[in-house]
């Protein structure tokens, strides 16, 4: 039974990932992604249902369009698989205590994860975070957090303070943007950091930022060594911020506990 539930979540995530691919493509071409049938971006042929099975269609068709034989971008299966695993990881956090409120939290995380997948891919491809996506995600988060801190008719001052402090690190991004005049970082990254602060709160936002800069530095050095980039080349930072976000979301508690235990042990050693 448990396996079937995980399988359902994985299939749901892959189906959502398929839809996100459509959203990403139609954001690029300024088309309506709510209405209209899917089609091949090369030959424009309308796709049949058997061409749209998440992950499997790509494998069955061997990565080629059924109609024009042009190669299908690896983006499509990668987004579907990534979204499926993100859904699984989100579900895993609630697996032992499914209630009405945790189910609402889970659905919210599914939606936010989907927004972040779109931002990740779009920024990776175009070095740009679409404003309509980031504003919609931030507005939804503010709406969600408003009811979360309003705990059954009483404001939770701790939750409010936690969110306020969580947003403050975004001022560091704003400072970098203003000092560099957007040569080191864009305003889209600043907006994304605000969204992350609202989602994670304090101190998990610090973990997200740490892993964002760490992963960005590692990948940047590797690209320079491979001569794919130079010291003056631009690298989209939103994918690293989103990577840091998911590290903090899924493993932030364990990381904070490790830091706390390590700092206590270090303190004891110093005292001895």
pLDDT in tens, 27-73: 887 776 666 677 778 787 788 878 788 999 889 888 888 888 889 88
pLDDT confidence tier of residue 89, bands split at 50, 70 and 90? very high
Q: Around 210, how many Cα atoms within 13 Å sit in the side-chain half-sphere?
A: 10
The confidence band for 272, taking pLDDT boundaries of 50, 70 and 90, is low
Q: Which two tokens stand for residue 76?
A: 């499509």
pLDDT tens string 204-262? 999 999 999 999 999 999 988 888 887 777 889 999 999 999 999 999 989 988 888 77
Q: What is the pLDDT of residue 32?
A: 65
**What global pTM score does this model have?**
0.90
* Secondary element (H or E) of residue 155: strand 154-155
Beta bridge pairs of residue 94: none
User: Distance between CA atoms of 86 and 239, rounded to whole angstroms?
Assistant: 15
Q: Is the dihedral of CA 19, 80, 116, 251 positive or negative?
A: positive
Confidence band of 21 (pLDDT split at 50, 70, 90) = very high
Residue 199: per-residue pLDDT: 93
150-196 residue pLDDT tens: 765 555 677 777 778 888 888 888 898 888 887 788 888 999 999 99
- Whether 219 and 235 have beta carbons less than 8 Å apart is answered as yes
pLDDT of residue 240: 96
């Amino acid at each position: 039974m448990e396996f079937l539930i995980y399988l359902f979540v994985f299939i749901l995530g892959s189906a959502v990932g398929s839809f996100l691919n459509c959203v990403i493509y139609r954001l690029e071409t300024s088309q309506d992604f709510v209405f209209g049938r899917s089609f091949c971006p090369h030959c424009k042929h309308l796709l049949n249902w058997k061409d749209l099975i998440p992950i499997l269609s790509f494998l069955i068709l061997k990565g080629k369009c059924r109609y024009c034989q042009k190669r299908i971008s690896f983006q499509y299966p990668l987004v579907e698989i990534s979204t499926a695993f993100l859904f699984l990881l989100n579900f895993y956090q609630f697996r032992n205590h499914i209630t009405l409120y945790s189910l609402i939290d889970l659905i919210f995380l599914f939606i936010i994860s989907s927004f972040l997948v779109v931002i990740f891919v779009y920024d990776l491809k175009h070095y740009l975070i679409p404003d309509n996506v980031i504003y919609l995600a931030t507005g939804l988060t503010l709406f969600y957090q408003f009811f979360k801190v309003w705990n059954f008719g009483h404001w939770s001052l701790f939750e409010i303070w936690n969110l306020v402090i969580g947003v403050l690190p975004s001022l560091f991004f704003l400072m970098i943007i203003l000092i560099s005049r957007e040569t080191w970082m864009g305003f889209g990254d600043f907006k994304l950091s605000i969204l992350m602060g609202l989602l994670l709160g304090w101190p998990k936002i610090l973990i997200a930022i740490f892993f964002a800069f760490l992963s960005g530095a590692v990948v940047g050095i590797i690209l320079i060594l491979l001569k794919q980039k130079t010291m003056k080349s631009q690298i989209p930072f939103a994918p690293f911020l989103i990577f840091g976000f998911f590290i903090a979301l899924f493993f932030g508690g364990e990381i904070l506990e490790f830091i706390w235990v390590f700092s206590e042990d270090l303190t004891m050693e110093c005292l001895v």
